[in-house]
Amino acid sequence: MAEGRLARRLLGQSSVEPGRDVYEYALTDARGVEVAVLTYGCIISRALAPDREGRCANVALGLSTLAEYETRNPFFGCVVGRYANRIGGGKFQLDGQEYRIATTAPPNALHGGIRGFDKHVWEVVREIGDDDAVGLELRLLSPEGDQGFPGNLDARVTYLLGAGGLRIDYQATTDRPTVVNMSNHSYWNLRGEGEGSSQDHVLTLSADYYTPVDADLIPTGEIAPVAGTPLDFRRPKPIADGLRSSHPQIALAQGFDHNFVLVRPDERALILAARALEPTSGRTLEVLTTEPGVQFYTGNFLDGRTYGPSGRAYRQGDGLALETQHFPDSPNKPGFPSTVLRPGEVYRSTTVLRFGTDRG
């Protein structure tokens, strides 16, 4: 029977929401895997995982202080919402009415607007601790009109660390029709935070298709096969193999920044979406999800001006993100899976992160 541990530490008061205390919760399992979660932005600020020799390293890119997270964070580790990823033109129509969303990547909305879910202090609803797992449930009330979205939204995120990995459960309800698409935006480097490029990681994606993008990284609406392109990760291969390809999609995104359409037996099954291996350490990360897509992003906009807890600069390609999600711009693409949530319905989504080792 696994034994876990939950510890809480006060980081200080938020400058974004004056008077609100911000805490760090450290979740530890019996194997020595430790995940730290901040109540600001629901951020995964640290993830310690052992290599094939049992040596632990932090594999999550992050920042050193609360002040940095509040002023300089390029979405490291946070929960993004109400709508993860992009909404083209910063607007969409729902039930015949147009809604305009605050644009953060003009002319498009990105990750929920100027002040999305990542820029709020979340309330801890409960702490969880038993023989099998440790964790916490967090809550955020997003009011009508928040960043332009309709409806009062009650959003909840639960982190639970146990023998099966780190389970992230998302839930939301609304009092008016709205759109919801929540995800975690952690950047991973399985060699260790600040240890250089992640381009040697060997990646596998359970996807036969992807959604091509235009020059603004908005999906065109096409669902295209990965076969014959650098975006084919159906068999394990190093990320670097296609990163400097002349393929038009790689050139547009300056690397990988694409939504992959997952192969799934039914709409709600928890399936293996991705597996990453760092060959030197042997560390692996498996990502399971109930979502229809995963955004694979290679940190193309990291430019060396952000420093992690290691004191080292983060440069392009130093971390990879695997954001489980509904597709970008779904509110404007009738052919994509719907992200509409109506009163009386419950938005539910689950992602599991499993850290392990490959003995080679």
Catalytic residues, by residue number, are 185, 323
Contact yes or no for 172/143 (Cβ under 8 A): no
Residues 6+ apart with CB under 8 A from 358: 52, 277, 282, 283, 284
Question: Computed from CA positions of residues 240, 245, 250, 251, in that sequence, does the dihedral angle turn out positive or negative?
Answer: positive
Distance between CA 279 and CA 59 in Å, rounded? 14
Which helix (H) or strand (E) covers residue 243, if one does? helix 240-243
CA dihedral 103, 109, 110, 116 (to 10 degrees): 70
Nearest Cα residue to 203 out of 317, 41, 32, 74: 317
How many C-beta atoms lie closer than 10 Å to residue 57's C-beta?
Answer: 19
Distance between CA 223 and CA 292 in Å, rounded? 13
Which helix (H) or strand (E) covers residue 242, if one does? helix 240-243
Contact yes or no for 338/330 (Cβ under 8 A): yes
> Two tokens at 298?
């290679």
CA atoms within 13 A on the CB side of 268: 3
How many C-beta atoms lie closer than 10 Å to residue 62's C-beta?
Answer: 26
Residues 6+ apart with CB under 8 A from 266: none
Q: What 8-state DSSP symbol labels residue 249?
A: H
Nearest Cα residue to 113 out of 139, 84, 150: 84
Which helix (H) or strand (E) covers residue 161, if one does? strand 153-162
